[in-house]
Amino acid sequence: MKRLLLTTLISALSGHALAVGDGFDLGPMRVMPTVGLSVGYDSNVALTSHDEIDSLVTRLSPGVRLQSGDARNRFTGTASMDFGWYDSSSQDDYIDYGLSGEWLYNPVVRHAFSVDAGWRRGHDARGTAAREGNLALLPLNPDEYDNSTVGARYRFGAPGARGRLEFEARQTFVDYQNNREYTRFRDRDDFLLGGAFYWRLAPKTSALVRLDQIEADYDDATLDNTERHQYVGVEFDATAKTSGTILVGQVQKDFDDPARDDFSGLSWRAGVSYKPRTYSVIELSTGRETDETNGYGDYILREDIALAWSHQWSERWSTQIDIGNANEEYRGLGLQPDRQGRSDDSNYYGVAGQYQISPWLRFGAGFKSYDRNSDIPELNYQRQTLLFSLEASL
């Protein structure tokens, strides 16, 4: 429910989103199938500080998107699968799959309403979530989970109006399916309720106030809490070259269990895009927020920053360069006297390129390097990945 940079840091072999083609008509629906095939190398599959496992990795990612309607009444549905095979570590093989759908209803310019729902059977790769450090070397398959979500959004105010209101409600269920000794404390339900008020200061600049509240309800762990965000900020599209959103405010995290450590402090979210040319984009994002613990402490306080440059050299050839850092402090260790404090500093950089062989076929290649330094030596790791991919769409 929140932007998590660390998830990006550890998802080394996640490819670029498949380009969706024009597809074909099937009754009232537009059908747009896609498929991706990736072959790569991972220098540290389990993200360990010692006894690293390296492997060739093959991924197959078929999917289909369905769409019907028009701009005022539109339905979109997707079905996807992701198969992963590790040549030197079959323990890490996986099959992920999911379904999602969204209905957008915009009967008049001033009102817009949308509902969406999705379900996904996914996995946490070894070395992440509840299985970090030496736990990643246990002879267990990756932790599998079901993630179900349903949400609704409503907007009042025409585009370009002086004032605009937006509301959102969302329920998310996370239920782990295996390795219950390590995963049962992560089962939880989250309910988000939020809203924002925008006030136009200039034709392409609006001030805004945003309030969010997330209720986290755990099945087994005594980590039930309420998290609140209060932000003020600005949304701008100042010129053809510069656009973005900057929010600054406070985050509060209050636990139901009085023995847990509450938190209240500075928070921010920001994303700015700069286009020196129409075919070149530089993006900067940063944030400071709290997050749910993965086993250490009561919660995580994260600060992150990322910089990316995308350049379209020609109609067929494009490249990306990105670099980022995330610092995570695991706070509230009073209930775990056998554990020391923990602070992780993670860095990454990557380069990638794509070549459009034909309108329906694209070739890509990318390299990424990751480095995490932690107060707990067994949680340090370094990782490099190299990936080659073919992506096809109709």
Domains plus CATH for the chain? 5-393 (2.40.160)
pLDDT of residue 2: 42
CA distance 194 to 210: 7
Residue recorded with tokens 């540290």? 44
Torsion angles phi and psi, residue 286, rounded to 5? -155, 155
Cβ neighbors of 87 (< 8 A, separation 6 or more) are 55, 56, 57, 58
% residues pLDDT > 90 (the chain): 84
Percent over 70 (pLDDT), the chain: 93
Closest CA to 288 of 253, 320, 244, 251: 251
pTM (two decimals): 0.88
**Cβ contact 207:218 at 8 Å:** no
Q: For residue 294, what are its two tokens?
A: 């993965």
Q: pLDDT per residue over 23-58, tens digit each?
A: 888 888 999 999 999 999 999 999 999 999 999 999
Nearest-angstrom CA–CA distance, 263 and 252: 6
Which tokens sit at 78?
Answer: 């997707």
| Distance in Å from the first CA to the final CA of the chain | 31
Q: What are phi and psi of 164, to 5 degrees?
A: -150, 140
Residue 7 dihedral angles phi and psi, to the nearest 5°: -60, -40
Residues 99 and 150: their CA atoms lie apart, in Å, by 12
What is the rounded average pLDDT of the residues 328-339?
74
The one-letter code for the residue type at 146 is D
CB 371 within 8 A of CB 382: yes
Nearest CA to 167 out of 153, 178, 177 is that of 153
Tell me the pLDDT tens digit for each residue of 154-194.
999 987 789 999 999 999 999 999 999 999 999 999 999 99
User: pLDDT value at position 167?
Assistant: 98
Question: CA–CA separation, 309 vs 319, rounded Å?
Answer: 8
Q: Residues in the chain, how many?
A: 394
pLDDT at 6: 36
**Rounded Cα distance, 115 and 329, in Å:** 35
Distance CA 135, CA 126 (A): 8
pLDDT, one tens digit per residue, over 222-281 is 999 999 999 999 999 977 799 999 999 999 999 999 999 899 999 999 999 999 999 999
Mean pLDDT computed over every residue of the chain: 92
Cβ proximity of 174 and 144 under 8 Å? no
> Of all helices (H) and strands (E), which one includes residue 187?
none
